Amino acid sequence: MFSFTNIKAFHKELLEGSTTCVDAVQHFIAKIEEKKHLNAFVEVYDSEALEKASALDLQRAQGLPLKKLHGVVIAIKDVICYKGHHTTAASAILKDFTSLYTATALQYLINEEAIIIGTCNCDEFAMGSTNENSTYGNVLNPWNESKVPGGSSGGSAVALQSGMCMLSLGSDTGGSVRQPADFCGVIGLKPGYGRISRYGLIAYASSFDQIGIFGKNIEDISLLLNIMSIPDYHDSTMQTLLMRPLHNAGALNRKFKFCVFKEVLEHSSLDPEIKASLKKVEKELKTQGHQVEQVDFDLLEYIVPAYYVITTAEASSNLSRYDGIRFGHQSTQAAESIDAFYKNNRSEGFGPEVKRRIMLGTFVLSTGYYDAYYTKAQQVRRLVMQKVEAIFNEYDAIIMPSSPGTAPSIGAAGNDPVAMYLGDIFTVFANLAGLPGIALPLFWHNVNNLPYGLQVMTNKQDEVTLLEIADLILQQYPPRF
């Protein structure tokens, strides 16, 4: 019976002949069917995946060398373009839309012989924290199906956690990889802004969006990150500084200096057990010879408002292209004017959360309110960046919870979107400042038996230190996948 632990072991088994790429794909197709009720996938490329697996097995039989991701089965979020395949952003406005090109980051994986198994469900246009805002319906948390998996990349997190793929891709605009990773008990990496090309990633907020990775070990995540970090002339925002090699984590003797924000520990929304666990990690790190200090961060209460003002403003611009003329849903209602035609198309095509954010973004950009909201939010962003720069002059990393609590029940957000937005308080910080961050699954809640952990953030362009610290912490708290 096929089982997967990591890419290196999988490749060893392939070379020894104890398994094949076809065996792997058949295993994951069966698992996807078995777990179909979780609603993690929008579309499964079963025939195509099996065909590619057969071709790779033939290549290997002919003695051809294995590329870095030979036969590695990967699922992708339904906001990452894949030529000749449906890419809908879980929205009715893009129903049956077929992509005309492949996202650069995805193409880099395919070039290394990865097998793409299918597209995963998500919040519509990546707007949401619960994966309840999808035209395809809710995704369920595999640990407790009455709970949400987190969002917006909930389908990608569930696909990985439930053993439907080896790794998966999501996108992270304000925590959309790290928060579902936390709720589902897997590792979720958001690289720093510009580390991975955004070409082919359907835009929500262009100065925040970043493709992220879900995995079950740091080595595999690091491999994908290195492959996807190749410069791309299609994306002028990409960093030109290449990543340095990842050290052998087991031989790493470096002592790190961590900081924790006092305002996070004292925040009224923070679950007491999560707070206690964070303090436990602090103590463990100090025991190992690392420094951990609490510092003041007096901008915490401004982060969520600034984030939502800027991202909704960018969303109102980015989503204006979906008009039902060039592509997307076109209403059958009679329209007496071009304005009415657009209104019908967009009213029918967009869901309530997307409409809410478009209207909010349009409002903050409007005459008379631009300076009061958008300009102020950008000023807060600049202050956050300046404070972050000062922090990383003294510290190697920031640690904090990924979320104030564990996964809430489906429907708990109800008609209070503000409550959902405030739940992003610990994740949007990294996006506002452009930092890399990673969610680590470390603990289980004693009351509800749901997973939770913490996130680590490092300075811009320093994903390697982030991965080394993540591996260090995971050695002390092995995940229960």
Planar angle of CA 254, 255, 259, nearest 5 degrees: 135
Task: End-to-end CA distance of the chain: give it in Å, rounded.
Answer: 19
Q: Which helix (H) or strand (E) holds 107?
A: helix 104-111
Q: Catalytic pick from 152, 229, 316, 402?
A: 152
DSSP 371: I
Closest CA to 357 of 346, 341, 344: 346
Please say whether the beta carbons of 158 and 148 come within 8 A.
no
The two structure tokens encoding residue 434: 């452009």
Q: Catalytic pick from 52, 77, 147, 190?
A: 77
95 is catalytic: no
Q: Distances from the Cα of 155 to the Cαs of 168, 377, 472, in angstroms?
A: 9, 31, 28
The two structure tokens encoding residue 24: 């792997």
- Other C-beta atoms closer than 10 Å to the C-beta of 417 total 18
176 is catalytic: yes
Cα 180 from chain centroid (whole Å):
8
DSSP 409: B
Going by their DSSP bridges, the two strands 397-400 and 257-261 should be labelled as: parallel
Closest CA to 462 of 404, 388, 406: 388
Cα 67 from chain centroid (whole Å):
25
171 is catalytic: no
Q: Catalytic pick from 129, 153, 171, 176?
A: 176
Count how many Cα atoms sit within 13 Å of the Cα of residue 165 in the half-sphere of its side chain.
33
Closest CA to 168 of 118, 129, 208: 118
What is the DSSP track for 218-231? HHHHHHHHHHHTS-
Return d(Cα 317, Cα 301) in angstroms, integer: 26
Phi, psi at 356, each rounded to 5°: -60, -45
Count how many Cα atoms sit within 13 Å of the Cα of residue 460 in the half-sphere of its side chain.
16
- Other C-beta atoms closer than 10 Å to the C-beta of 281 total 22
Which residue is it, tokens 């290394």?
112
Kindly list the catalytic residues: 77, 152, 176
